[in-house]
Every structure is written in structure tokens, then in C-alpha cells.
């Protein structure tokens, strides 16, 4: 510090006219410069201390995908045709779907005799939910209060109508073309593309208050799981009942989450902590397991990720891999990486398969046993 001050004094001295080169003047000028820098720094740092910083919320459950994960397969995380929630609201390539949102919004209120009264009721409910719903997002939401409430209402009605028309007693919606449905399913489980569960729950409850509601026999959880059922090519009927029980037991906690968390919970088996810690050390390549006398079997469990072992028998549920399921698992892993309240069970499951496969021979054995099915071409 002393050498730097000496250098500054020397520079000031050289810059002054010959007649004015006296140390008293140099000292006064240097002191003024140093004092001003101190005050500027103090003012800037005080502004930072006095600035309002959002407090961390326990409700946070909706995240942006970390940049490190996006580098691998960015398309797996960005919505393809529809935006749900604030993160991708207004994206240019998603604007064509706003027309479908508007049509679904009309359908939600078509059976209501007093539309304005019903809409007023919905808006008032969304206004009450706005602070808590906003706190579910990890990143700052740029939408103002009015914009956020309108977004919740429109997107919430879209989800509700989509679930009731496709996941309800109808097999399809007259407004959805065939090519749209698979993409809508995948957009609905992407990490950045979602609403808090509490928003859709409230809209569902308000809809069921009407005596004309034709979807009351099915719960929101049942509708959601029926809608995403084709993603895994498995029967999720048992899981829907189990998930409904889980939702009733943990009602207040779960309502701060979203459909992706519901779907993830419905396909994950219960893993004991001691089993979770030793999993990585138990896994060998498939050919090595076969040489050691381990018998691999296809395990048709109602839990899609339920791996069981008994003696020399290792039962593994079939894993279907294609572009769509790759997207599903990537988003599940991203959620587990971001959400501190959930354990990385899906990540461990995929790590298990990654450890099983070291060569084409490993893939051939798993395919022959009916455990691995893929359509990736290589």
C-alpha cells in the first residue's frame, strides 16, 4: 500500500507545473482524492446493505435448469410448444399456443350461467394465492402482480381443462391435434415449465363447487397421473390410488409442489437410507454379474424404478429409452439436483443402469432379458 501511495504522489508531482511543485500542494490534492474514493466506496456499499434482498422461502420448488446441465442437451429442458408459468411466458416460439389456451379458458366457464361472477371468484382466489405462488419460484419472476395473476389464471385453466378432457372420461380433445398431445405431455413435466400445485388445486376445487361439473368422481391426482401415464408405457392405476393417499396424508406440504413431483413420487420405490448409501458399491457390469452367477429378470413392478434383489436373482423393471423418455429422466435428475428436500432416487436409478452397461454385450444381455428397450438407433 505504501509503495502504491508513493507512486501516486510521484505521478501527481510530475503532472504539476514546475513552479507549483511543492509537497504541501501535492499532499492536499492526494488527500482529497483518497477521501473522495473512501466516501464513494462507503456510499456504494451502504446502498447494497440497505437494498431489499428477497428472503429464502421454504416454498421454493420450481427452478431454472443449471447452465451446466443445459450444455449437454438444452432442448430437453425448454418447452417445445406451450409455456406454463412465468419463466417462458411470452417466448416468441410458444405464442401460437396462446390461442389454444384462450379456447380452453372459455371451456372452463362455458357451463357457468353467471360467468362474470365466477370469474370474479377465481380472480379473488388467485390474488390471495399470488404471494405464496410467487415464492415457489427459485429465480426472480419479472411479471408484475396483475400479469402474474392473469398468467396463473390462464395457465391454470389450460392445465385443468387439458387434464379433464384428455385424462378424464374422454380419450381426446377436439381442440388438440394428434401431433400435439405427446409434446404437451413432455412440456408439462419440464422443470422450468410449471405452476405450483396449489394454483391448479384451487381452480379444481372451484370447478367442482359447480353442480354441473362432470369430472368430480376423479381426483386431480388421478387426472394428472392418467394424463402422463403414456410417458412410461406402464400401467399407473395402482400408483394413482397410492399417490392420492399420499396427497391426502401430506396435503399441505404437497400442495406447494407440482405435477412433476407427483409423477416422480408415483414411480419411485421406497429406498432405505442404508440401501441408498451402499448402492454404488454393489453394482457391476452386466457381463460380470452373469459370470458371477447372478440371474437377471424382468421385474413387472407397479413402481417403474423398483429394483429388487433376492439371493442370486436381480429383478429390474424394464427401461424404455427414446427421445421423450430421455427428456423425462433428464428433468427428474435436474429437479433432484436443485430441490434440497428430495433425495436423488431417480439419479441413483440411472446411475445404476449406467454402471450396468460397459459394452455392446451388456446392452445385448439386458435387451434379451426384456430389461432395456430403446429406439435411439445406436
List pLDDT tens digits, range 36-74. Answer: 777 778 888 888 888 877 666 778 889 999 988 888 788
Domain ranges in the chain are 2-50, 67-267, 273-374
Contact (Cβ atoms closer than 8 angstroms) between residue 198 and residue 152: no
Contact (Cβ atoms closer than 8 angstroms) between residue 193 and residue 87: yes
Which of the four pLDDT bands, split at 50, 70 and 90, describes residue 236?
very low
Out of 31-45, 47-61, 193-207, 209-223, the most confident range is 193-207
- The single residue listed with the C-alpha cell 370447478 is 207
* Separation CA 181–CA 162 (nearest Å): 10
**DSSP bridge pairs for 309:** 314
Instruction: Give residue 233's region: left, alpha or beta (phi > 0; psi -120 to 50).
Output: left
**DSSP bridge pairs for 373:** 320
* Separation CA 258–CA 256 (nearest Å): 7
Look up the pTM and report it: 0.76
Average pLDDT, the chain: 77
State the Cα angle at 131 between 129 and 134, rounded to 5°. Answer: 100
pLDDT average, residue stretch 233-250: 46
* Separation CA 227–CA 74 (nearest Å): 25
How far from chain centre, in Å, is Cα 289? 36
Q: Which helix (H) or strand (E) holds 372?
A: strand 372-374
Quick check: 174 pLDDT over 90?
Answer: no
Which of the four pLDDT bands, split at 50, 70 and 90, describes residue 134?
very high
* Separation CA 134–CA 116 (nearest Å): 26
Contact (Cβ atoms closer than 8 angstroms) between residue 200 and residue 156: yes
Q: Which among 243, 242, 267 is positioned nearest to 318, based on CA atoms?
A: 267
Amino acid at each position: 500500500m505504501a509503495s502504491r501511495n508513493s507512486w501516486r504522489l510521484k505521478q501527481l508531482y510530475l503532472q504539476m507545473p514546475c513552479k507549483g511543485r511543492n509537497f504541501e500542494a501535492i499532499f492536499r490534492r492526494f488527500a482529497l482524492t483518497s477521501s473522495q474514493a473512501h466516501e464513494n466506496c462507503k456510499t456504494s456499499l451502504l446502498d447494497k446493505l440497505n437494498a431489499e434482498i428477497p428472503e429464502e422461502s421454504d416454498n421454493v420448488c420450481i427452478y431454472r435448469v443449471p447452465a451446466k446441465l443445459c450444455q449437454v442437451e438444452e432442448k430437453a429442458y425448454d418447452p417445445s410448444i406451450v409455456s406454463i408459468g412465468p419463466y417462458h411466458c411470452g417466448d416468441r416460439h410458444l405464442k401460437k399456443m396462446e390461442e389454444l389456451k384462450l379456447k380452453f379458458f372459455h371451456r372452463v366457464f362455458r357451463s357457468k350461467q353467471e360467468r362474470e361472477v365466477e370469474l370474479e371468484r377465481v380472480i379473488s382466489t388467485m390474488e390471495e394465492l399470488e404471494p405464496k405462488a410467487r415464492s415457489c419460484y427459485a429465480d426472480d419472476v419479472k411479471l408484475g402482480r396483475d400479469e402474474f395473476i392473469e398468467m396463473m389464471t390462464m395457465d391454470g385453466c389450460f392445465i385443468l381443462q387439458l387434464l379433464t378432457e384428455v385424462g378424464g372420461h374422454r380419450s381426446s380433445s377436439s381442440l388438440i391435434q394428434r401431433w400435439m398431445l405427446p409434446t404437451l405431455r413432455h412440456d408439462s413435466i419440464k422443470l422450468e415449465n410449471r405452476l405450483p400445485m396449489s394454483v391448479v388445486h384451487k381452480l379444481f376445487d372451484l370447478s367442482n363447487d359447480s353442480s354441473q361439473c362432470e369430472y368430480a368422481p376423479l381426483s386431480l391426482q388421478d387426472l394428472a397421473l392418467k394424463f402422463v401415464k403414456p410417458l412410461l408405457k406402464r400401467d399407473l392405476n395402482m400408483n394413482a390410488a397410492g399417490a392420492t393417499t399420499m396427497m391426502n396424508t401430506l396435503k399441505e406440504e404437497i400442495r406447494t409442489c407440482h405435477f412433476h413431483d407427483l409423477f416422480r413420487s408415483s414411480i419411485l420405490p421406497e429406498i432405505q437410507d442404508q440401501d441408498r448409501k451402499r448402492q454404488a458399491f454393489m453394482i457391476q457390469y452386466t457381463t460380470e454379474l452373469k459370470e458371477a452367477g447372478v440371474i437377471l429378470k424382468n421385474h413387472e413392478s407397479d413402481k417403474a424404478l423398483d429394483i429388487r434383489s433376492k439371493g442370486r436373482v436381480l429383478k429390474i423393471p424394464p427401461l424404455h429409452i427414446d427421445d421423450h423418455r430421455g427428456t423425462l429422466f433428464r428433468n427428474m435428475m435436474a429437479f433432484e439436483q436443485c430441490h434440497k428436500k428430495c433425495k436423488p432416487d431417480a439419479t441413483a436409478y440411472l446411475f445404476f443402469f449406467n454402471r450396468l452397461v460397459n459394452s455392446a454385450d451388456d446392452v445385448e444381455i439386458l435387451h434379451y432379458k426384456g430389461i432395456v428397450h430403446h429406439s435411439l438407433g445406436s
